[in-house]
Amino acid sequence: MQNFWEKLKKPILCLAPMADVTDAAFRQIIAKYGKPDIFWTEFVSADGLAHSLAREKLLIDLKYSENERPIVAQIFGSKMENIRQASMLCKELNFDGIDINMGCPDKSIEKQCAGAAMMKDPKLAREIIRAAKEGGGGLPISVKTRIGYNKNEIEIWIRELLSEDLAALTVHLRTRKEMSDVPAHWEVMKRIVEIRDEMKVGTLILGNGDILNLEEAKQKVKETGCDGVMLGRAIFGNPFLFTNKNVLSEVEGQIPLDSTRDEMYVPSISEKLRVMVEHTKLFEKILGGYKNFAIMKKHYKAYVNGFDDAKELRMKLMEAENAQQVEDITSNFLKEI
C-alpha cells in the first residue's frame, strides 16, 4: 500500500484538526477556497467507534468527501483493543491514514488516560501505536502530541514515539501544563529534528503552534529543518488561508488567482461574507440533523471582524437559527454597504 506521506512535497503545510471546527462542512469550504496538503478529521473516540451503538452517532465525525484527500482519521483512546477496532473501521472507510491524538489537554479525555495523559505512560503510548498499526492494515500511522506534560520532555518522550516507526509526528510546541497560554517553543524544534536524525528513522516531523500564515510557516521550516507546519487557529474566519498554494480556477463562485502569487490572499468583505453563508448552508445540509446550529456561531465571530458595522452584523447573526436567516441578514447588510 502506498504511503501518501512519502509523496508529499515539502514543506508540508496542513490544517490542524480542531473539535467542533474542522468538521465535514468546514473542510469542504477549505477544499474549495484553498486546500492544505492534508486534512484531518476532528478527533473521534476509539472507545465509541468500537461500540456498536455509540459508533452510529460518531460516524458523522468521520464523514468526508473525495476532494479532501489525502485525509487522515484522528482517533484517541487508551484501550488497545478499541484502538485496533477503530483503526480497522478507518481502513474500511478508506481513509488515507490514521492519527492518534496524544496531546489534547481536555480533562474528560485525560480521565480516559488518552490525549495528553499518554505522555505520562510512554509504554502504553507505544502499545497504542502498535494496536493502530495492526488494525489499520498497512495505513500509515501518525501521532500528534506536545513537548511534554509539565515540562520539556522531548529527550525521552519524542524518542519513545520515534521508536515506533511512525509515518509522521506533529508536535504542538508547548507542554500540557502551558495549554496555549505561552508562546509556542519553536526553539525546541531543531532539537526534535536532531533526535529524529540521530535515531536514523524516516518519520516526517511537523511543528504546530502560533503560526498565522504560510509565509511564517515556510520560514519556520527553513529555520528549524522540520518537514512541515500544521496551522490551526489561523483558519478561523479565513478559509483562504491556504489559497496561495493552489491556483483556483475561474469557476463561478470561486476566486480566480494569479498562479505566480505567493502572498496572503486578502478577500473583500463581500467575498468573506458570501463564503460564510455558503459555509452555513453546507453545515445545515451535511450536519444539520446531527449537530447543533450554535456550533456555527463561533465561526461568525471570526468571519465578521475588522470592518465597519461588524459588531452590529455579528449580533444579528448570533440570533439566527438557520441558514436562511443567516443568508437574509447577510444580504441585507451587503445591500447597505
Residues 14, 90, 104, 226: which is the catalytic one?
A: 104
Q: Are strands 39-40 and 71-76 parallel, antiparallel or unpaired?
A: parallel
Q: Record the cell numbers describing residue 15, joined without a space.
A: 490544517
Nearest-angstrom CA–CA distance, 125 and 141: 13
**Helices 296-303 and 269-287, axial angle in degrees (round to 10):** 170
Q: 250 CB contacts (<8 Å, ≥6 apart)?
A: 256
Residue 326: other Cβ atoms inside 10 A:
25
* 104 flagged as catalytic: yes
Adjacent-strand bridge partners of 141: 98
Concatenated DSSP letters for 274-332? Answer: HHHHHHHHHHHHHHTTTS-GGGHHHHHHHHS-SSTTHHHHHHHHHH--SHHHHHHHHHH
Nearest-angstrom CA–CA distance, 136 and 97: 8
Task: Say if residues 299 and 273 touch (Cβ distance below 8 Å).
Answer: no
Q: Record the cell numbers describing residue 177, joined without a space.
A: 501544563
| 3-state class (DSSP) for residue 114 | coil
Query: Alpha-carbon Rg of the chain, whole angstroms?
Result: 20
Q: Record the cell numbers describing residue 221, joined without a space.
A: 521550516
Concatenated DSSP letters for 86-112? Answer: HHHHHHHTT-SEEEEEE----HHHHTT
User: Quick one: the chain helix, strand, coil %, rounded to 5?
Assistant: 50, 15, 40
CA atoms within 13 A on the CB side of 230: 25
Chain position carrying cell 495492526: 134
Annotated catalytic residues are 104
